[in-house]
Amino acid sequence: MRYEPSLKEIVGQAKAISTILQFLQHFKPGKALLLYGPPGVGKTATVHAIAREYGLELVELDSSTRRDAKSIEWVAGKAGKQASLFLRKKLISIDEVDGISERGGIAALVKLVQTSSHPVVLIANDPWSKRLRPLRPYVKLVEFRKLTERDIRKILQNYAKKMGISYEEKVLEELARRARGDARAAINDLYMLAQGKEKVIEEDLELLGFREKEKVVFEALKLIFKRKGFNAIFATSNLDMDLDEFKYWVMENIARDYKKPEEIGKAYDCLSRADIFLSRAKLMNYYRFLIYANTLLTAGVSLSKEEVYRTFTPFKSPSKIRKMTLTKQYRQTFRRIGDKVAELCHTSQGKAVREIVPYLRFFLKSEKFKEWAEEVFTSEELNFLANLS
């Protein structure tokens, strides 16, 4: 279920909300709002809440939508001039405008602001970006301030209440601390921890160690993909990760950053050669091969491109590792149930997990079996079995 806070539930941004509402009330064509502030402070959530609560038809180009000149002109531009099908007032919102890199994209935004007969709200992390210079005379800046730990705790309390999540107070305190002002990250963490559980407890926070690891890895990926040179060999110097795991991160992101087939081919060739050296190092117990593997994995991939792509690349963690990490608790619960079933059925844990546990959810429909199961399994394990698919 998607969490959509009301205006009252948006914490710490009363001044910004008041400015937006005044702008909408006294709107005159030729001027737009530019909401800015760090990620996860409520910029987009505020726009959505205002549209819902004031009955506005929201026309949106978000970060998942193409926001090039053509899209801005034909999607948002047309909406800016046409009346709503349901005779409602419109609100046009374009997210991450500081990330629009295509030539002509900013010029299209300026034209939209000048010609739109409906209010336009633009959203950015950095309003002082050089590429936004032509746009600034046509916008009023609205700052969304950085959230405190206390703010984020309150947001998490609202979220947990709305979503029916039970928790230990220490969990919210730690999530607020780790979020560093990003409420969206804190909400995502709480959502992940709450899956399949009756109550989120302090021990569950161990699952979040992976996110801290991700931040360091992303810096290493930037050194490889967003620069070109032999210095990329230092990308792995601060990584708490072996090369065999890091290769999956590089493999996942080559095609995300490189555009030309020949560059992608060269990069994957370096990756495959690095994999050969990694295998030989293990088989022959000769770990000097790791030097060659690291060079190919970092500098080799970095030098495979003709030039550095200056556009923003949303690096992603490899699906293989991501799935293993996010389902760690899932697998632990599965094994715990498997151990109990194996003992009761006098069989191996492997056979219990493969051939018996997946079918227990069907038996739970029987009241007699459910009574017996409540004596064997914990409430958390029963909830797990009931939602097993």
Average pLDDT over every residue of 161-174: 89
List the one residue out of 125, 100, 6, 119 whose CA is nearest residue 56. Answer: 119
Question: What are the C-alpha distances in Å from 163 to residues 1, 102, 160?
Answer: 8, 40, 5
Average pLDDT over every residue of 30-48: 92
Query: pLDDT > 70: what percent of the chain?
Result: 87
Question: What are the C-alpha distances in Å from 126 to residues 11, 18, 99, 151, 315?
Answer: 21, 21, 9, 22, 20
Reported confidence tier of residue 130, pLDDT bands at 50, 70, 90? confident
pLDDT, tens only, 96-116? 888 776 668 888 889 889 888
Average pLDDT over every residue of 226-232: 88
Reported confidence tier of residue 83, pLDDT bands at 50, 70, 90? low
In this structure, the strands spanning 32-36 and 139-143 are parallel
Separation CA 303–CA 319 (nearest Å): 25
Predicted pLDDT at 207: 67
Predicted pLDDT at 11: 92
pLDDT, tens only, 332-355? 777 788 888 888 888 887 788 778
- Whether 385 and 337 have beta carbons less than 8 Å apart is answered as yes
Predicted pLDDT at 210: 53
Residue 211 has pLDDT above 60, yes or no: no
Separation CA 228–CA 206 (nearest Å): 36
Reported confidence tier of residue 209, pLDDT bands at 50, 70, 90? low
212, with CB counted inside 10 A (0-12, 13-18, 19+), is: exposed
Predicted pLDDT at 389: 57
The single-letter code of the amino acid at 278 is: L
| Residue 353, token pair as written in the block | 């997990």
Residue 320 has pLDDT above 70, yes or no: no
- Whether 199 and 166 have beta carbons less than 8 Å apart is answered as yes
Residue 182 has pLDDT above 70, yes or no: yes
Residue 179 has pLDDT above 80, yes or no: yes
Predicted pLDDT at 243: 87
Predicted pLDDT at 269: 96
Reported pTM: 0.55
Residue 82 has pLDDT above 80, yes or no: no
Separation CA 83–CA 90 (nearest Å): 8
pLDDT, tens only, 355-379? 888 788 788 878 888 888 888 888 7
Predicted pLDDT at 84: 52
Reported confidence tier of residue 204, pLDDT bands at 50, 70, 90? confident
Predicted pLDDT at 212: 55
Average pLDDT over every residue of 184-191: 86
Predicted pLDDT at 96: 84
Residue 66 has pLDDT above 90, yes or no: no
- Comparison of pLDDT for 330 and 223, the residue scoring more: 223
Q: Is 229 left (phi over 0), alpha (psi -120 to 50) or beta?
A: left
Separation CA 241–CA 235 (nearest Å): 12
Query: pLDDT > 90: what percent of the chain?
Result: 31
Average pLDDT over every residue of 82-94: 71
pLDDT, tens only, 252-308? 999 989 989 999 999 999 999 999 999 998 888 788 899 999 999 999 999 999 988
> For residue 162, what is the enclosing H or E element?
helix 149-163
Q: Is 4 left (phi over 0), alpha (psi -120 to 50) or beta?
A: beta
- Comparison of pLDDT for 251 and 62, the residue scoring more: 251
